[in-house]
Amino acid sequence: MRIRLLCIILLFSSVVHAQVWTLKKKGIYANISFSAAMYTEGFDSTGETFVLPRAVEDKTIALFAQYGITDKITAQITLPYKMTATGDPAVAFSPYEYDGPLPLEGGKLNYWGNIEVGAMYKLMEDKPIITASFFVEANTSDRNYITGLQTGFNSWGFIPGIGAGWPFEKSWLTYYLGGDIRTNHYSSSILSKIEYGYKPAPFVYFAVTGNLKRSLKNGDDCDCTTAYRSLYLNNQEYIAGGLKAGFLFGKWGANFAVNGALSAANAPVALVPSIGVQYKKE
């Protein structure tokens, strides 16, 4: 099987940030990031790739913030702002069968993505640290069926999960398992993430991640013209990996990441780098 890179795009499904570590009381963590994906191919529902009628751009500016309500409870919010656009036609026809004319005009759509809020609760403080979490992903996105663009999933998501973390002297290991319960005829999903990180010095770290999203295929939402853009489709799936690194300067830091997939369905084919600036106060 040919390996393709998957556009995870900071879609702000719950596996973007590992739901494991809580903060101390009144602790603050904030990260503002930028990511950009530009692609001309997508994964269809069977996992095969196809050429999109037009090139697509999906850029994201996101704020991720946490606050320690108590030593065991940490509140969390993710605010993504999306900038999507299409370019010149890539092919003169669509690979999909469609009844009627294709309203696939070029255009732009800038709006909020799916805003996510929730909290984590520390169940156990020994190794491994165990946390339970619950997040709500709001249907705050927008869409244009004439251009086929949308800035997020056209549904609400309710995301319960449990995470485990093993901190070591210079490294860490985390694992997260959760569910994504969807409204508006979208399928629910199983979510999973594993991460191993290494900190060779106090001011630098590296990490490798593995992500899985598996649809339960219990929803019949029609993606309609948005299927021709491979943006935020129903029954999205992937098995993916990523690399990230960061530099710390006291309470401040800079971080970098890139994500890719071995297999996917109903998703773009693109390499997605991201860069961010963070602040942390214990």
- Give buried/exposed letters for 15-52 (b at 16+ CB in 10 A, else e): bbbbbbbbbeeebebebebebbbbbbbbbbbeeeebeb
Question: Would 60 be classed as within a structural domain?
Answer: yes
Spatial distance between the Cα atoms of 122 and 120, rounded to a whole number of angstroms: 7
- Report CA torsion sign: 22, 274, 114, 5: negative
- Ramachandran assignment for 230, one of left (phi > 0), alpha (psi -120 to 50 degrees), beta (any other): left
Question: Would 108 be classed as within a structural domain?
Answer: yes
Q: Tens digit of pLDDT for each residue in 185-239? A: 999 999 999 999 999 999 999 999 999 999 999 998 887 788 889 999 999 999 9
Whole-structure pTM value: 0.88
Spatial distance between the Cα atoms of 182 and 98, rounded to a whole number of angstroms: 26
Question: Would 1 be classed as within a structural domain?
Answer: no
Q: What is the pLDDT of residue 168?
A: 94
Question: Would 111 be classed as within a structural domain?
Answer: yes
Domain encompassing residue 138:
28-281
Q: How many domains does the chain have?
A: 1
- pLDDT values of the chain reduced to their tens digit, one per residue, 282 residues: 444 444 433 333 333 455 789 999 999 999 999 999 988 899 999 999 988 888 899 999 999 999 999 999 999 999 999 999 998 765 544 445 444 445 478 899 999 999 999 999 999 988 899 999 999 999 999 999 889 999 999 999 999 999 999 999 999 999 999 999 999 999 999 999 999 999 999 999 999 999 999 999 999 888 778 888 999 999 999 999 899 999 999 999 999 999 877 899 999 988 889 999 999 998
**Which residues, at least 6 apart from 52, have a Cβ–Cβ distance to it below 8 Å?**
39, 40, 41, 42, 90, 91, 228, 229, 230
Q: What is the pLDDT of residue 257?
A: 95
**Do 253 and 280 form a contact (C-beta atoms < 8 A)?**
yes
State the CATH number of the domain containing residue 206.
2.40.160.40
Which residue is listed with tokens 């739901």? 19
Residues counted in the chain? 282
Q: What is the pLDDT of residue 18?
A: 55
Q: What is the pLDDT of residue 90?
A: 57
Q: Is the peptide bond before 128 cis (omega within 30 degrees of 0)?
A: yes
